[in-house]
Amino acid sequence: MALLPGPVERLAEEFARFPGIGPKTAQRMAFQACRWPEPALQALSGTIRLMAEAIGNCPICFFISDRGELCSICRQQGRQEELICVVEDPSDVLAIERTGEFRGLYHVLGAALSPLDGIGPSEIHADELVARVSGGTVEEVILATDSDVEGEATAGYLVRRLEGTPPKVTRLAHGLPVGGELAYADDRTVARAFSGRQLL
């Protein structure tokens, strides 16, 4: 016999679908929601309905946007249209924008290649990237995929796909984190820092 009312059980199941939220955390969240005042719950429900109805991806760069519209970055005046930074996820865009260092545009793949998870070339907006740079206004494509196995494989795949298109293709530098101590860096990071050493 179910001890809890249906919506409470269901909410716990739905929260547990978010990656990183285990069944225990999901149930704690559902219990917590039982104690929220009704207006707070109605607001949360409304926000999620709005997500369902009004949020989509930018038709140019696939960053999160109001549905059917350009994203905030593609709409911004004065960005360098000749520079495109390719990232895996929208959160990467936020991380790069926080630095204030990059004034070009983005291309959000939405994932990295991962055959075991069923993510192949057609899932990462690679065709759209090739079409986008073939026009001739783009001068440089910066590959900023993660430096794990999937990210490196994705970068390698994109290098091959972009061969013969006008822009030069670069990759973000790997090396020691700024402010970090060499002794605490992992072996592969130290090795990359050596092989990428620069003349002063």
Binding-site ranges for its own copies (CB under 8 A): 1-5, 7-8, 10-11, 14, 17-21, 25, 27-29, 31-35, 38, 40-55, 64-66, 72-73, 76, 89-91, 93-94, 97, 110
**Angstrom distances, CA of residue 51 to CA of 20, 54, 64, 65:** 20, 6, 11, 11
| C-alpha span between 4 and 10 (Å, rounded) | 10
Q: Which CB sits closer to its own copies, 34 or 159?
A: 34
For the CB of residue 74, give the shortest distance to its own copies in the complex, in Å.
Answer: 11
For the CB of residue 181, give the shortest distance to its own copies in the complex, in Å.
Answer: 24
The first and second tokens of residue 102, run together, are 């990059």
SS3 state at 151? helix
For the CB of residue 191, give the shortest distance to its own copies in the complex, in Å.
Answer: 29
Helices and strands: H and E segment counts in the chain: 8, 6
Q: Which CB sits closer to its own copies, 46 or 121?
A: 46
Q: Which CB sits closer to its own copies, 63 or 151?
A: 63
55-57 vs 64-66, strand pairing mode:
antiparallel
Q: Which CB sits closer to its own copies, 110 or 175?
A: 110
